[in-house]
A and B are shown apart, each in its own frame.
Chain A
Amino acid sequence: MTVALETIGLEKHFGALRVTRELSLRIAEGARHALIGPNGAGKTTVINLLTGVLSPNAGRILLQGGDITGLAVHQRVRRGLSRTFQINQLFADLTPLETIALAVNERLGRGQDGWRRMGTREDVNAEIAENLARLGLLDVMNETTSTLPYGKQRLLEIAVAIAAKPRVLLLDEPAAGVPESERQDILKAVAALPRDVSVLLIEHDMDLVFSFADRISVLVQGALLVEGPPDEVARDPRVKAVYLGEASDG
């Protein structure tokens, strides 16, 4: 198995609270891997550690074998690690076209170009159009992002993450908060992600997890409880206990 993304003994503390405990995860090349766990299990912290928003107290993160533990957020993106956010983090005043252009420009190393006018490179225009078309955003490409329906904004979240042409894509609850009418578009977009991109999906929605993932890791109180194929995880009594416990608590 070629490993796309790996964490080795990852630890994160907030004061006395251990939010991530000796987490060792391996995401295989081309995998559809899901990270699940009850509320407060530390899933989003894991994403923040992987992407460099937070620094771990101990442990290492390897992207395609290279150590990225000390790299800044943008450097990890350039190495091929891209993410979406659980709550939309978009550029409210920009258009989808401009948002995708940002990712494409940075990937091509043209983001610091202060002289060339936007829209004057045909190859860049074509790549932007391709990214917009992939997620059905062509018709709204020149609308201000803040005015788009929520579902379209979620699609833009995914589109901008893919526009960076990642090797590994982290999806943080892509369907969260999306009305039922627009949900199918998100599910289709997730299902149609390029096969050569390894995906780590963080999700509460078990239907989505079991329809998407070929491997599942269960996180409880910051530590890995179980990892395996979906049917094995579904049968595991410890997982049942965790989720049933949560259900009976709630």
Chain B
Amino acid sequence: MTTPAETVGVYARQPARWHWAEVAFWIAALASAFLFPSRYLIMTDILRLGLFALSLDLILGYAGIVSLGHAAFFGVGAYGAGLLALHGLVTEPVLALLVAALAATLLGFVTSFLVIRGVDLTRLMVTLGIALLLEALAERFSDITGGTDGLQGIEMAPILGLFEFDMFGKVGFFYSLAVLFVLFLLARRIVHSPFGLSLRAIRNNPLRAAAVGIPVDRRLIAVYTLAAFYAGAAGALFTQTTQLASLDVFSFERSADLMLVLVLGGTGYLYGGLIGAVVFRLLQEGFSTLTPQYWQFWIGAVLIAVVLTGRERLHRWVRLVPDFLSRSRAKPKLGAIAPTSDPS
């Protein structure tokens, strides 16, 4: 006979259990390196975009914060990593990635106070404004950022002093995959913690969240700051694997693309950003091969089709994978529950 407390424990731990489909996903990600050895560059690009989208999913999918300026943190991470390498301040890439991501984290913390105030539309405008502001600053301080030319002559030291970046992008791919996997594990741990649960509560109903004792603003500041770290890490990866950092790291298109990635992949189950990144880049690649001049038109058409399909239907589709992953949670094999006390 299972006691109620044991049943509570089983149900509460269920969502954090690894599902075979998740394991298969990561094996497939690793296997792609061996299946498509000539496509390291685009696969690395997908990994970076996936990490960047994971960052937006943390605030949008879990805490309900919309942003059209997430490139601000990506850009700070990108320029941070570029400047650290260019001036030889921190040459080891992993350490440099951490430092650059922490710079983005600091920006995330400072700007979070502006973002948590107000509702969706205000948040869209504030986030957009911050990214545009940074882009303008990066252009203005061209002696540091290289202005419209970007940072020139970035040379990367070997990762951990052992693995030299190669011209085919193989090391860059494995490095990006490792960073994505580690940060994904961390995010997975966080969303299945009491902190993660409180974020979902805030997204569901902020009024009630406060009424159960959750300090709503403080939690939103925390997750926004965390997401800035992830976006900064994605930006740093971008610079480290492409040896480029130019003004477009802050661009509106970069932030907007990210929303499209999450529209395609879905939010609130962590894999949405990763799956969306794969689909988005493959669509982009496919359309630009078919119609090099009009690929944006077709991407636009797909998105309109996705949106017109309807929010409800779309939601069902994007929930297919997460529901499949969590289906076993609904009916775990448990014995009868012995009540501890008579509720009447």
A interface vs B, CB < 8 Å?
51, 53, 72-75, 77-78, 82-83, 85, 89-95, 97-99, 101-103, 105-107, 110-120, 122, 125-126, 128-130, 132-136, 138-139, 141-142, 160-161, 163-164, 188, 192
**Minimum distance in angstroms from B86 CB to a CB of chain A:** 34
Is B204 a contact partner of A92 (Cβ separation < 8 A)?
A: yes
> What are the residues of chain B within 8 A of A106 when measuring CB–CB?
198, 212-214
> What are the residues of chain A within 8 A of B344 when measuring CB–CB?
136, 188, 192
Chain A minimum-CB-distance residue to B191 = A114
Bound CA span A107–B211, Å: 12
> What are the residues of chain B within 8 A of A92 when measuring CB–CB?
204-205
> What are the residues of chain A within 8 A of B15 when measuring CB–CB?
118
Is A73 a contact partner of B210 (Cβ separation < 8 A)?
A: yes
Residue in A99, A110, A134 whose beta carbon sits within 8 Å of that of B341 in the complex:
A134
Bound CA span A235–B329, Å: 56
Bound CA span A129–B9, Å: 9
Q: Is B200 an interface residue (CB 8 A)?
A: yes
A-contacting 9-mer, from B169-177, B215-223, B258-266:
B215-223
Is A135 a contact partner of B197 (Cβ separation < 8 A)?
A: no
**Known interface pairs A91-B205, A119-B11, A142-B330; A112-B219 also in contact (CB < 8 Å):** yes
24 contacts between A and B (CB under 8 A): A73-B210, A74-B215, A75-B215, A89-B205, A89-B211, A91-B204, A98-B12, A101-B12, A102-B209, A106-B213, A115-B190, A118-B13, A118-B15, A119-B8, A119-B13, A120-B13, A122-B5, A125-B5, A125-B9, A130-B4, A138-B337, A138-B339, A141-B7, A188-B344
**Minimum distance in angstroms from A188 CB to a CB of chain B:** 6
Q: Is B16 an interface residue (CB 8 A)?
A: yes
Residue in B9, B213, B340, B343 whose beta carbon sits within 8 Å of that of A111 in the complex:
B213
Is A142 a contact partner of B11 (Cβ separation < 8 A)?
A: yes
Is B208 a contact partner of A85 (Cβ separation < 8 A)?
A: yes
Is A119 a contact partner of B330 (Cβ separation < 8 A)?
A: no
Is B212 a contact partner of A102 (Cβ separation < 8 A)?
A: yes
- 4 closest A-B pairs by beta carbon, nearest first, are A119-B12, A106-B213, A129-B4, A136-B343
Q: How many A-B residue pairs have CB under 8 A?
A: 175
Bound CA span A55–B9, Å: 40
> What are the residues of chain B within 8 A of A102 when measuring CB–CB?
194, 197-198, 201, 209, 212, 214
Cβ < 8 Å to A, chain B residues 317-333: 329-330
Is A133 a contact partner of B193 (Cβ separation < 8 A)?
A: no
Bound CA span A90–B344, Å: 23
> What are the residues of chain B within 8 A of A141 when measuring CB–CB?
7-8, 11
Bound CA span A141–B334, Å: 13
Bound CA span A128–B11, Å: 12
Residue in B9, B196, B212, B222 whose beta carbon sits within 8 Å of that of A122 in the complex:
B9
Q: Is B282 an interface residue (CB 8 A)?
A: no
Bound CA span A142–B328, Å: 12
Chain A minimum-CB-distance residue to B329 = A142
Sample of 19 more A-B contacts, CB < 8 Å, known A74-B214, A113-B195: A53-B207, A74-B213, A77-B210, A91-B204, A95-B11, A102-B197, A102-B212, A105-B198, A106-B214, A111-B195, A114-B195, A116-B194, A119-B8, A119-B9, A128-B12, A129-B4, A133-B4, A133-B343, A161-B211
User: Which of A98, A118, A136 has the most CB atoms of chain B within a 10 A radius of its CB?
Assistant: A118
> What are the residues of chain B within 8 A of A75 when measuring CB–CB?
215
> What are the residues of chain B within 8 A of A138 when measuring CB–CB?
4, 7, 337, 339
Chain A minimum-CB-distance residue to B212 = A103
Residue in B10, B190, B210 whose beta carbon sits within 8 Å of that of A74 in the complex:
B210
**Minimum distance in angstroms from A122 CB to a CB of chain B:** 7
Bound CA span A96–B222, Å: 25
**Minimum distance in angstroms from A212 CB to a CB of chain B:** 17
Is A117 a contact partner of B208 (Cβ separation < 8 A)?
A: no
Is A111 a contact partner of B194 (Cβ separation < 8 A)?
A: yes
Bound CA span A9–B14, Å: 51
Is A72 a contact partner of B210 (Cβ separation < 8 A)?
A: yes
Q: Is B6 an interface residue (CB 8 A)?
A: yes
Bound CA span A214–B319, Å: 51
Chain A minimum-CB-distance residue to B341 = A133
**Known interface pairs A102-B201, A105-B198; A117-B343 also in contact (CB < 8 Å):** no
Chain A minimum-CB-distance residue to B4 = A129
